[in-house]
Amino acid sequence: MGYVEKIRRHGLAGSLRIGREMLRRKTAPLHWRLWKAPAYRNPTDDELVRIERDLAGLGVEVHDYSPSPEAFRAFMAGDWFPPDYHGGRDGGVWHEKLLEHWIASQMLGLEGFGGDDVYVDVAACGSPWARSLRERRRLQAFAIDLAVQPEFSALPYYREEDATATAFADASVGGASLHCAYEMFEGDSDTRFIREAARILRPGGRIVIVPLYMHTHHCTYSTPEYWGKGRGDPGATEYLQRAYFGVPASRKYDAPALKRRVLDPATSCGLRYTLHALRDKPRFGPGIYCHFILEIVK
């Protein structure tokens, strides 16, 4: 976006404010307090196996999930997302982001949803998914987030809502999904969301969390402008993520934390869950990092 377009869209004061924020973010990694901050890294394949063993040790079964790569390629060919979505095909995460939505669609059975079935894209951010489902499948699709992006602000089904206290009526939602979003639910909002899901789901309704981020130990990462400010879970190891900005705390459960914060609250609310692990990742394209997927059913 050029300078003239930025001023037109945000106004002079808004453009200056955005400029100051960008400068602050660019200089944040140079701050002395970050020099020795421990850097985050994703779990290795061997560590993912260890996490599955840790889950089994707590009585949590991990189910193999091996969907059809051919069916996924057919979904990709359907042009459900604009060519610039998440940086487009050359952005490094194109296959991953489309795979997350396709997996959720398959597990929720969105193709079988009728006119009265409500679907919710939770913490949708700037995703066009709900709009695409409305336009192409005539679904009652909604997108909720703490802030609605300007592109969708005129659409009444893109709603500014807290996912832990929504405006949906009791037992009114047939399906919902979170795509690379649940890890951002700060404080106890991950647990509170499970309780809200139990309220709004109709019997037989389900929620899919994809990916469900886990590690060998309970930890979070924060980007430079947030690191060291106590935004992660108490007792969780905090790491620095230098690659980008705008993340106060991204949670990674270990097996005990997942059971304590998510699975036990789900069962206490009368919900059932299945924890899946995606197998044969390279068959779905380059850069696939999704591993754990949590399916919750009322």
What average pLDDT does the segment 191-220 reach? 98
Residues 13 and 108 in one domain: no
Residues 26 and 43 in one domain: no
Residues 156 and 10 in one domain: no
Residues 110 and 184 in one domain: yes
What is the tens place of the pLDDT at every residue in 144-185? 999 999 999 999 999 999 999 999 999 999 999 999 999 999
**Beta partners for residue 140, in sequence order:** 118
Residues 14 and 118 in one domain: no
Residues 196 and 156 in one domain: yes
- How many structural domains comprise the chain? 2
What is the tens place of the pLDDT at every residue in 49-87? 999 999 999 999 999 999 999 999 999 999 999 999 998
Residues 25 and 71 in one domain: no
Please provide the average confidence, as pLDDT, over all residues in the chain.
Answer: 91
Say how many C-beta atoms besides its own lie within 10 A of residue 105's C-beta: 21
Residues 220 and 273 in one domain: yes
Would you say 93 and 179 are in contact if contact means Cβ atoms under 8 Å apart? no
Would you say 220 and 233 are in contact if contact means Cβ atoms under 8 Å apart? yes
Q: Could you tell me the CATH number of the domain that includes residue 235?
A: 3.40.50.150
Question: Which residue from 226, 297, 236, 228 is spatially nearest to 261, judged by alpha carbons?
Answer: 236
Residues 15 and 70 in one domain: no
Q: By residue range, what is the domain housing residue 92?
A: 38-297
Residues 273 and 227 in one domain: yes
Q: Which amino acid is at 69?
A: P
Residues 147 and 164 in one domain: yes
Task: Give residue 24's pLDDT.
Answer: 53
Residues 8 and 100 in one domain: no
What is the tens place of the pLDDT at every residue in 34-46? 888 999 999 999 9
